[in-house]
Amino acid sequence: MGVQYKTRDEIELMRESAQLVSKTLGLIAKEVKPGVTALQLDKLAEEFIRDNKAIPGFLGLYDFPNTLCTSVNEQVVHGIPTNKPLLEGDIISVDCGVVKNGFYGDHAYTFAVGEVSEEVKKLLKVTKESLYLGIAEMVKGKRMGDLSFAIQNHAEKNGYGVVRELVGHGLGRKMHEAPNVPNYGKRGRGPIFKDGLVLAVEPMINMGTRRITQLNDGWTIITSDKKPSAHFEHDIAIVDGKPDILSTFSYVEEALAEVNALIV
């Protein structure tokens, strides 16, 4: 199917879906600490989404078994929540989807578990920066390659590997719609951006090699050199020629600020 451009009304419904994911990630942010398991986070997320009259978007999608994808350290994406307690110094990428009013929200944040090394902090910072640099290119008349290049350039400038096999995507009544949103590419190439386009932009950036492999569970993607990987994702519409970020990290950031204030 071709690109499904959304009306203003549809974009407002998609904002609701995206914001519910944002709030879910905010809830998760308060709970990520050493000793907690990804399965506990998963249960919290599922309850919260259902309490908000929505459906977990990943549960059962392509037969995925849970509400969250939780990817720890060298796991890039699509990790399945387990009973293994998180350890101080780990990172965990939490990707969450919902369906509300028939539209998907899909966004992700990589959390530090307790205190992480300076080099891991930098990986998280640069990956998040690359997401926003990509989003800034979502301007009417620009092309996908401009977005892709912006992400790749920032990550590689910092010596990181950009995952190529997995990409962002169009988002709407389906979780994965056209077009693909690669995190690498050349300026001036690819589909032209127009009003009504809604994308899930999601750089997956590795500290070392860009190469990845899949675990035997049929889901979990890991880095080939077992170095850590980060993943941040937003849902964005083009409105009046400019990017309108439908999701937000503000709930996560508020929660993390509270947690840090308690520690200090």
Task: Name which of 21, 37, 26, 72 is nearest 231 in CA terms.
Answer: 72
Which one, 61 or 259, has the nearer CB to Mg ion?
61
Which one, 95 or 146, has the nearer CB to Mg ion?
95
Which one, 176 or 187, has the nearer CB to Mg ion?
176
Q: Report the nearest approach of Mg ion to the CB of residue 89 (Å).
A: 24
Q: Report the nearest approach of Mg ion to the CB of residue 105 (Å).
A: 9
If phi > 0 it is left, if psi is from -120 to 50 it is alpha, else beta; for residue 159 that is: left
Q: Report the nearest approach of Mg ion to the CB of residue 107 (Å).
A: 6
Q: Report the nearest approach of Mg ion to the CB of residue 264 (Å).
A: 32
* N-term to C-term CA, the chain: 52
Which one, 106 or 146, has the nearer CB to Mg ion?
106
Q: Report the nearest approach of Mg ion to the CB of residue 148 (Å).
A: 15
* CA pair distance 189, 175, nearest whole angstrom: 24
Task: Name which of 133, 96, 125, 124 is nearest 22 in CA terms.
Answer: 96
If phi > 0 it is left, if psi is from -120 to 50 it is alpha, else beta; for residue 63 that is: left
Which one, 30 or 174, has the nearer CB to Mg ion?
174
Token pair listed for 151:
């992400």
C-alpha of 242 from chain center: 21
Q: Report the nearest approach of Mg ion to the CB of residue 262 (Å).
A: 29
Q: Report the nearest approach of Mg ion to the CB of residue 106 (Å).
A: 4
Which one, 214 or 260, has the nearer CB to Mg ion?
214
DSSP state letter for 63? G
* CA pair distance 94, 97, nearest whole angstrom: 10
Alpha helices in 158-225 (DSSP H): none
Which one, 33 or 174, has the nearer CB to Mg ion?
174
* CA pair distance 208, 175, nearest whole angstrom: 29
Q: Report the nearest approach of Mg ion to the CB of residue 167 (Å).
A: 9
* CA pair distance 76, 28, nearest whole angstrom: 19
Which one, 25 or 108, has the nearer CB to Mg ion?
108
* CA pair distance 112, 181, nearest whole angstrom: 26
Contacting positions for Mg ion (CB under 5 A):
95, 106, 108, 200, 233
* CA pair distance 106, 104, nearest whole angstrom: 6
